[in-house]
């Protein structure tokens, strides 16, 4: 488990003073994947460097399994870093070393014997599904394979925390999906706390249990993915789902936006809504999916001549939130910021 307590990073002094990270507080439990999203310049890379102790925080602390790592001397720090495995963006491999030699790096730095290293490297490469690529150089591997080597390397010293710094950025969707699946598998098998820093909202949806949005060095919103998606007022929840255009309602109908707010929404809510209102309800656009086994959904419907208060009450009884307009915070804008 890793926790940040009031983590603050300030660069410069006086007029030049810039607060890059402003009193961040969150923790990632063992077996949890916590995503941090935010636009470029929000402080994501500084956060990553503070977490893997490459940068010292100005104040506040980073705790791994309850132990404060931010007050250590340079030499102790080198040892402490080994508890946190870091996966870098895909260019983090040494070009003159084979996949196996890259995975062996942390063991080599630690001074592990050659025989032990060989065994551990073979085991790690097997775990990420690259046993047959041990002798390949980075340029002979695909982006996804390179990232798998990076993951194997990050796991070499059996860390309890895995930090993924834009690990899937620049990968094609298929590779991203396979890396995400691998991370989830490792999380389950090894009980890792994974801090997943990214700017890609759709990857967050695939990988994370919880998410926090970082903006101008502060966490502006955070929560469990499913809860955010079920909260129609949540800006982050809206940013997480792609903004799709929908059909417009007939001239005599009113447009309503409906979101699932609970797990107990009946699958035939549309018919039930129409029955109980005694009117026609037309479906203009919808997306219903399961995230981590929980159903979430959003729909635009056109309703002819129904009493608004009655409609809201009926929707509520079905586990739905209904409103006549999209909440003010434009999801498209957040997406754009995030990209």
Partner 1 sequence: MSILTATLTGPLPLNNNVPVADIPALVFPALLDTLIMVGIVMLIVVLVGIPLGALVHNLAPGGLFENPALHTTLSWIVSIGRSLPFLILMAAIVPFTRFITGTNIGIAAAVVPMSIAGIAFFTRIVENSLRGVPPTLVRVAKASGASPLQIIRTAQLSEALPSIIGGLTINTIAMIEYSAIAGTIGAGGIGYVAVTYGYQRFDNTVMLATIVILVATVASVQLIGDRLVRLTTPHSRTQARLPRAARREASLV
Binding interface with partner 1 (CB under 8 A): 49, 52, 54, 78-79, 81-82, 84, 86, 88-89, 91-92, 94-96, 105-106, 108-110, 137, 139-140, 153, 156-157
Q: Minimum CB separation from partner 1 for residue 249, in Å?
A: 50
* C-alpha of 233 from chain center: 20
Report the 10 Å Cβ neighbour count for 171.
Answer: 22
Question: And the tokens for 321?
Answer: 């939130």
**Interhelix angle 99-110/114-127, nearest 10 degrees:** 130
Helix (H), strand (E), coil (C) string for 22-82? EEEEEEECCCCEEEEECCCCCCHHHHHHHHCCCCCCCEEEEEECCEECCCCCHHHHHHHHH
Q: Minimum CB separation from partner 1 for residue 298, in Å?
A: 39
Q: Minimum CB separation from partner 1 for residue 250, in Å?
A: 52
Cβ(162)–Cβ(147) below 8 Å: no
| Listed residue (146, 179, 56) closest to 198, CA to CA | 179
Report the 10 Å Cβ neighbour count for 223.
Answer: 16
| Listed residue (190, 151, 147, 197) closest to 172, CA to CA | 147
Q: Minimum CB separation from partner 1 for residue 90, in Å?
A: 10
Q: Please work out, in degrees rounded to the nearest 5, the angle formed at the alpha carbon of residue 34 by the alpha carbons of 180 and 259.
A: 90
> Rounded to an integer, what distance in angstroms lies between the CA atom of residue 336 and that of residue 105?
38
Q: Minimum CB separation from partner 1 for residue 54, in Å?
A: 6
Nearer to partner 1, 165 or 321 (CB): 165
Q: Minimum CB separation from partner 1 for residue 92, in Å?
A: 5
Nearer to partner 1, 169 or 254 (CB): 169
| Listed residue (158, 161, 148, 156) closest to 108, CA to CA | 156
Q: Minimum CB separation from partner 1 for residue 104, in Å?
A: 10
DSSP notation for 78-101:
HHHGGGEEEE--TT-S-TTS-HHH
Q: Minimum CB separation from partner 1 for residue 9, in Å?
A: 16
DSSP state at residue 307:
-
Please measure the distance between the N-terminal and C-terminal CA atoms of the chain and give it in whole angstroms.
29
């Amino acid at each position: 488990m890793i926790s940040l307590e009031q983590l603050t990073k300030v660069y410069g002094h006086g007029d030049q003073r810039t607060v890059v990270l402003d009193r961040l507080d969150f923790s990632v439990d063992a077996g949890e994947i916590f995503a941090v999203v935010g636009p470029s310049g929000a402080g994501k890379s500084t956060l990553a460097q503070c977490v893997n102790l490459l940068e010292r925080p100005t104040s506040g602390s980073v705790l791994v399994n309850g132990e404060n790592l931010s007050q250590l001397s340079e030499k102790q720090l080198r040892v402490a870093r080994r508890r946190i495995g870091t996966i870098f963006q895909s260019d983090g491999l040494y070009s003159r070393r084979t996949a196996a030699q890259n995975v062996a790096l942390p063991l080599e730095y630690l001074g592990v014997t050659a025989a032990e290293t060989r065994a551990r490297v073979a085991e790690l490469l097997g775990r990420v599904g690259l046993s047959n690529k041990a002798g390949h150089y980075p340029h002979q591997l695909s982006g996804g394979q390179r990232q798998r080597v990076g993951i194997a390397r990050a796991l070499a010293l059996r860390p309890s925390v895995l930090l993924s710094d834009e690990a899937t950025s620049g990968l094609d969707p298929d590779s991203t999906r396979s890396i995400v699946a691998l991370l989830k598998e490792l999380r389950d098998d090894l009980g890792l706390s994974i801090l997943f820093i990214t700017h890609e909202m759709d990857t967050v949806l695939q990988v994370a249990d919880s998410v926090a949005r970082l903006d101008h060095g502060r966490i502006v919103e955070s929560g469990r993915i499913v809860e955010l998606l079920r909260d129609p007022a949540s800006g982050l929840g809206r940013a997480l789902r792609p903004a799709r255009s929908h059909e417009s309602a007939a001239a005599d109908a009113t447009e309503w936006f409906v979101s699932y707010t609970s797990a107990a929404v009946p699958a035939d809510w549309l018919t039930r809504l129409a029955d109980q209102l005694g009117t026609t309800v037309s479906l203009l656009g919808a997306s219903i999916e399961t995230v981590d086994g929980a159903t979430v959904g959003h729909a635009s419907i056109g309703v002819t001549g129904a009493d608004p208060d009655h409609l809201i009450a009926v929707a509520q009884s079905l586990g739905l939130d209904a409103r006549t307009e999209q909440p003010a915070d434009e999801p498209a804008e957040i997406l754009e910021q995030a990209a």
